[in-house]
Amino acid sequence: MTLHPIEIGEERLDVPVALAPMAGITDAPFRKLAARFGAPYVVSEMVASRELLAERRLSAVRLDVAQDETLAAVQLAGCEAEWMAEAARRVAGNGARIIDINMGCPAKKVTNGYSGSALMRDPDKALSLIEATVGAVDIPVTLKMRLGWDEGTLNAPQIARLAEDAGVTMLVVHGRTRSQLYRGTADWSAVRAVVEAVDIPVLVNGDIVGADAAREALSQSGAAGVMIGRGTQGAPWLAGQVADALQGRALRPAPVGGALCDIVIEHYEGQLACYGEAIGMRSARKHFGWWLAGRPDGAAVRQRVIRNDDPDSVRAELRAYDWPAVQAETQVAA
Ligand SMILES: Cc1cc2nc3c(=O)[nH]c(=O)nc-3n(C[C@H](O)[C@H](O)[C@H](O)COP(=O)(O)O)c2cc1C
């Protein structure tokens, strides 16, 4: 299976393989790693439009999108058309090349605020937010959503058509409903109804953990490309490797041994620099779990580093660990 380049408005994505937005995970330090390892496209964690307008520090951190060669989008979530429009203008003014609207997040914090996937229950409201965002900026606007709210309302194709008519230039569909949260398995074949409903490119998302799954998801959905989320945890190279595999190229190697240790420490330092020491250390903890998963003595090392709040001794602990010369089983792309 070969992928073809896609147009996202006036932007071109040569290899439609994307790193998914994951709040608290795919932050600027992680996206930088994914970009360096060849992820062709990365999307920021969602930024609440209201928070952004209040200029909270965290949303400023989330907006750091400079990714050199890699195309990057900033994702906005919100429930008021005016906030979305104003936030979109700010983000575009800040140099973003693409804005993605979040209509897939199932989190209560987001759906109670009537944004994220809750918008799928109210297509008129969804459309008003989309139109406001598209109308506010000259850069391409994309939309990420689920199949629908629940089994009884699989309205992604309907929303996809409304979005396309309103000027949205690409869609991402997670093959689950809001009610499923993350349970069950993603239904890639159900994404086909969206692909067939629109002329703009669609990326299929959900449970794609490597190149084989990516091929299967593409074949079942007919989508133009894939978006990969949780599979990249502890494996920021995965999107780059899947892009290689889908182009029929040899996979660029994942770092192992000392090179992996360097990456883990670089990411740790990125977290401290991004959030400051206290929050950075907390944020780094979950990543240590993923970096060390499935590795000899990994659980014990993780316990020690997550309890340690002295960065120098965390670095020393990580340097002292004998990082295996092979990838963990879960982190192999093909
Ligand atoms: C911890 C976590 C945070 C997420 N945050 C976002 C987000 O900010 N915006 C969004 O559109 N989706 C978010 N998602 C959903 C993912 O982008 C993706 O759609 C979902 O995880 C399914 O893909 P996967 O199976 O490859 O992980 C999040 C998922 C997880 C697990």
Model confidence pLDDT, tens digit, residues 276-311: 999 999 999 999 999 999 899 999 999 999 999 999
pLDDT given at position 94 = 83
Which residue in 79, 105, 261, 274 is the catalytic one? 105
Minimum CA distance residue for ligand 1 atom 26 = 229
**Residue 206 in contact with ligand 1 by CB distance below 6 A:** yes
**Residue 228 in contact with ligand 1 by CB distance below 6 A:** yes
Phi-psi map region of 236: left, alpha, beta (phi>0 left; psi -120 to 50 alpha): alpha
Question: Could you tell which of 102, 143, 174 is best to mutate to test the pocket of ligand 1, judged by most ligand atoms within 8 Å of the CB?
Answer: 174
**Residue 42 in contact with ligand 1 by CB distance below 6 A:** no
**Residue 230 in contact with ligand 1 by CB distance below 6 A:** yes
**Ligand 1 atom showing the smallest separation from residue 207 Cα:** 25
Which among 68, 74, 71 has a CA at the least distance from the CA of 89? 74
Strand-strand pairing, 6-8 and 11-13: antiparallel
C-alpha of 304 from chain center: 29
Which among 20, 25, 84 has a CA at the least distance from the CA of 274? 25
| 274 part of the active site | no
Which burial class, exposed, middle or buried, applies to 138 when counting CB atoms under 10 A from its CB (0-12, 13-18, 19+)?
exposed
C-alpha pair distances (Å), 265 with each of 60, 247, 288, 299: 24, 31, 10, 17
pLDDT given at position 132 = 97
CATH homologous superfamily for the domain 6-246 = Aldolase class I (3.20.20.70)
**Ligand 1 atom showing the smallest separation from residue 208 Cα:** 26
The region of weakest confidence among 59-68, 130-139, 201-210 is 59-68
CB atoms within 10 A of CB 313: 12
What pTM, to 2 d.p., does this model score?
A: 0.95
Phi then psi for residue 256, to 5 deg, are -135, 170
Output the average pLDDT for the chain. Answer: 91
pLDDT given at position 95 = 84
Is the pLDDT at 332 greater than 80? The verdict is no
